[in-house]
Structure 1
Amino acid sequence: MVQRILEAGDIESLDHSAIPRIRTPERLAVFSARAARLRQLAALSNPIAGYLRLMAALADAQQAVMTGFKAKPPSAELIASAQQHSMPLIPALSGVRDPAWHEVLIQLLDKLQAAGLLTPPLEALIAKLRTLDAATLESQADAIFAQRFAEVDPASAPFIMAALQVVWTDLAADIDKRDVPYLETLGLCPVCGSHPVASTVRIGGVHDNYRYLQCGLCATEWHMVRSKCSNCDSTKGIAYHTLGSPDADAATKEAESSKAALKAESCDECHTYRKIGYQSKDYDFDPFADDLASLTLDLLMGEEGYRRASPHPWLWPEQTDTATDPSSESD
């Protein structure tokens, strides 16, 4: 049986009620699966293998903490208001956040230290994180969500973000998909309003051949047609880029591209890109983990004049010196 790939126009002509709009995270597996994928990618002679292993330990800590954590769910009034105004159901940037995430951060740090993977610079960073007061933590969270890069501490941000992810992923795992509003901005998560980290063309079941964006905060996935920019919604000037043999001829490059499980989807209208993965090429593809582990593709896209549509939640663009940068961990 030959399987036909649906193009953007074909998908848009379908009954949208037949396409599952939302995929909520699996509470018991979301972070553990991410950790496993990070370790798998680190083992492939990745240039940031040490950092990927550290982040795998952080993802394991997230899974362990979420097992005993329960966030306060949104009220019926909040759900009704979000639906009425086409706003995110549990907005991350606006409103008052549950301060429970401060304690989640401490628990994550405890578990990281217990894992025994710390270098002296990382020990110093964890000690610093433990001293931050509530106002400073909330200020950092605001800067991270608003992508005010000058205010974000790149070394601390991945750990702060990890704590916030536990809370919002816990909330997203329990929502009724029917409660999730339709947003006017299709490129933002309808649950929390955050940016997607990357997208996946899935295989199997009701999601087969459909592209889903994954939220970098709550891990919710939402359907978006292919050949459309997830940043500006344009269908013009969409192209796909892969890492291949730089000196290969055109036919060889095309063959390499057709086999690639990970590509960068660029848009010439807004000059941004996001990565897209194909489960048919690599079933274990994880948008969060694979995006983090593919910095070489980011470098290629920068050389070609494109910028990331949004930063990876665990790797911020501004760098600190190696005395406080957790990525300085040796392999």
Structure 2
Amino acid sequence: MAPPTWLPPRAGLFGERAARLRHLAATHPMGAWLRAVAQLCDAQQHLDGTLGPVSGALSELPVVHAALVQTLSEGEGRALAQGLTLSLDALSERAQRLLAYTHADPDASGPQDRADLLLGASLQLLFTAVARGTPVNPVQSPVPGEQRCPCCGSVAHAGVVLTADGKAGLRYLECSLCATRWHAVRARCSLCDSPREVEYRGLEGAHPSVQAETCDACHGYVKTLFRDKDPHADPLADDLATLVLDVLVGEAGYGRAAPCLLLISGGPTQV
């Protein structure tokens, strides 16, 4: 049987991500920052599954965003939400920019400040709920060269090479917005679908489960996680913990193509 073309967002993903961030933070030089992002993921998990039927319309975002800010304000993440007030117009304008960013619009910028960070987390919540309500055909044949999420049209955050449930050795790309995963043939560039052999670059002596897949055809790269080396690796958490790899690959002449809604432009910051 052919592997499923795409997989819906897994249950408990935000809680798993928060736990992974805390695990990585324990020995990371930027541990305080990773723990702050974990608090944001905790709030996402608290609200995940409570939204009811949603369509993904931006008119639904203010309610989701207000609930996330309130949840943070009442918990350990209160410092993240402190002093944040956005008018409906400002919220809509920022949201449209962030959505364009996940859709790889070259003119759109990623998160610029703490307000964008919380808004990005709200967008993830909203579109994850949409993706969970979209029917999946488990026997549909893979679509070769598919480079965008089948649910929301965003580009991938990272690739994951799985190890179990009949998918061992298969690579799935995970959406930067709704966490849907879709099958992508290995040994082809996940950005331009070039048949030229891709190259994997990692950090010597650290984070063996995370490598950058680089392509000499488009000169881009996307990180790939190998679950056989660490079954708990998470696309977003392990991306944030390996930003030094981005620096090294960038110095080698490759450009990052993966959006990250929980990373303020310019690198780590004390949020």
Same fold by TM (over 0.5)? yes
How far did 1:174 drift?
A: 2.6
Between 176-185 and 202-211, report the one with greater CA deviation. 176-185
TM-score normalised according to structure 1 size: 0.73
Give the direction of change, closer, same or farther, for the CA distance of 1:185–1:240 in structure 2 (3 Å limit).
closer
* Map of 1:279 onto structure 2: 227
Higher helix share: 1
Find the partner of 1:161 among 117, 120, 139. Answer: 120
C-alpha contact (below 8 Å) 2:111/2:117 kept by paired residues: no
How far did 1:67 drift?
A: 3.3
Q: Note the alpha carbon deviations across 1:267-319, whole angstroms, 9 max, x for none.
A: 11111111111111101011121112111111111111111013322114347
Structure 2: how far apart are the matches of 1:66 and 1:192? 18
Q: In the alignment, does 2:267 pair up with 1:307?
A: no
Structure 1 residue runs of 5 or longer lacking an equivalent are 1-16, 74-91, 246-255, 320-325
Q: State the identity as a percent.
A: 34
Structure 2 residue runs of 5 or longer lacking an equivalent are 102-106
Structure 2: how far apart are the matches of 1:281 and 1:43? 19
How far did 1:236 drift?
A: 1.4
2:83 match: secondary structure: helix
* Map of 1:216 onto structure 2: 176
* Map of 2:269 onto structure 1: 327
1:312 match: secondary structure: coil
Find the partner of 1:62 among 39, 44, 52. Answer: 44
Give the direction of change, closer, same or farther, for the CA distance of 1:183–1:208 in structure 2 (3 Å limit).
closer
Matches within 5 A, 1:199-238: 199-238=159-198
Structure 2: how far apart are the matches of 1:214 and 1:59? 17
C-alpha contact (below 8 Å) 1:50/1:327 kept by paired residues: no
Q: Note the alpha carbon deviations across 1:89-121, whole angstroms, 9 max, x for none.
A: xxx7xxxx24222121122112222223455xx
Give the direction of change, closer, same or farther, for the CA distance of 1:182–1:160 in structure 2 (3 Å limit).
farther
1:214 match: secondary structure: strand
C-alpha contact (below 8 Å) 1:34/1:286 kept by paired residues: yes
> What amino acid sits opposite 1:176 in the alignment?
P
How far did 1:214 drift?
A: 0.4
Give the direction of change, closer, same or farther, for the CA distance of 1:226–1:181 in structure 2 (3 Å limit).
closer
> What amino acid sits opposite 2:30 in the alignment?
I
Q: In the alignment, does 2:91 pair up with 1:141?
A: no
* Map of 1:78 onto structure 2: none
C-alpha contact (below 8 Å) 2:17/2:38 kept by paired residues: yes
* Map of 1:10 onto structure 2: none
> What amino acid sits opposite 2:226 in the alignment?
Y
2:260 match: secondary structure: coil
* Map of 1:290 onto structure 2: 238
How far did 1:22 drift?
A: 1.1
* Map of 2:4 onto structure 1: 20
What RMSD in Å do the two structures reach over aligned CA positions? 2.6
1:18 match: secondary structure: coil
Structure 2: how far apart are the matches of 1:226 and 1:47? 33
TM-score normalised according to structure 2 size: 0.88
Give the direction of change, closer, same or farther, for the CA distance of 1:277–1:316 in structure 2 (3 Å limit).
same
